[in-house]
Amino acid sequence: MKTLWAPWRMEYILGGKKGGCVFCMAMGEEDGLTLYKGRDVMVVMNKYPYINGHLLVAPVRHVSGLESLSMAEMAVVLKTVEQSIAVLKKVMRPDGFNVGLNLGKVAGAGVEEHLHFHIVPRWHGDVNALTVFADVRVIPEHIQATFNNLKPHFDTFAPETWA
């Protein structure tokens, strides 16, 4: 029998929530995963990604549903989703994307109290038998390396001026 070690998972399994909303905490501290902090929107890397480049785009304002966003916030959030995809296309050259949001716990929302879009780049052949048979994901690049590749592109963001 072969063993696949993933010690980083223990933090996720045992960690629970530390001190509140991860998005609100990301706005107030440097966590090493926040690519952009603006007046109305933020872009952070998913700490437990499905694959390299899995980004989360959230309004700065703590809201749980689309109906709570103003039209200006909605425009900035969606424009930031669009521009985040453009950065991922340029830097990582994926073959496609899964983009969406999970509203409510039963829909899979891990942080249901703070609305956020998932942007998941996809490549032909990025799902292999390990995922299907062993419930294991293989992520070929360390999250910090992905962050370092993406961060310079997000340093030029100014989504509040795009709407």
pTM of the complete model: 0.75
Could you tell me if residue 10 is inside a domain? Answer: no
Catalytic residues: 116
150, 36 Cβ separation under 8 angstroms: no
Could you tell me if residue 4 is inside a domain? Answer: no
Could you tell me if residue 5 is inside a domain? Answer: no
Is residue 57 classed as helix, strand or coil in its secondary structure?
strand
| Residue range 16-62, pLDDT digits in tens | 556 666 766 676 666 678 899 888 999 998 887 878 899 999 998 88
Report which of 109, 113, 157 is spatially closest to residue 25, judged by C-alpha positions: 113
Q: Which CATH number covers residue 84? A: 3.30.428.10
Least confident of 15-24, 50-59, 70-79, 117-126: 15-24
Could you tell me if residue 12 is inside a domain? Answer: no
pLDDT at 162 exceeding the cut of 90 = no
The whole-number pLDDT of residue 142 equals 82
Could you tell me if residue 54 is inside a domain? Answer: yes
Look at the chain and report how many structural domains it folds into: 1
Here the contacts of 146-154 (C-beta below 8 Å, separation 24 or greater) are 146/45, 146/52, 146/53, 147/32, 147/33, 147/35, 147/45, 149/91, 149/92, 150/35, 150/45, 150/53, 150/87, 150/88, 150/91, 151/35, 153/87, 153/90, 153/91, 154/35, 154/36, 154/43, 154/84, 154/87
Strand order in the sheet with 34-37: 34-37, 41-45, 55-59, 117-122, 96-100
Calculate the average pLDDT of the chain. Answer: 80
The whole-number pLDDT of residue 4 equals 57
Domain boundaries, position 48 = 22-161
Could you tell me if residue 83 is inside a domain? Answer: yes
- Triad 162, 21, 6: Cα angle to 5°: 100
Task: Please give the Cα distance from 133 to 136 (Å, whole number).
Answer: 8
Mean pLDDT for the stretch of residues 85-99: 94
Could you tell me if residue 16 is inside a domain? Answer: no
Is residue 140 classed as helix, strand or coil in its secondary structure?
coil
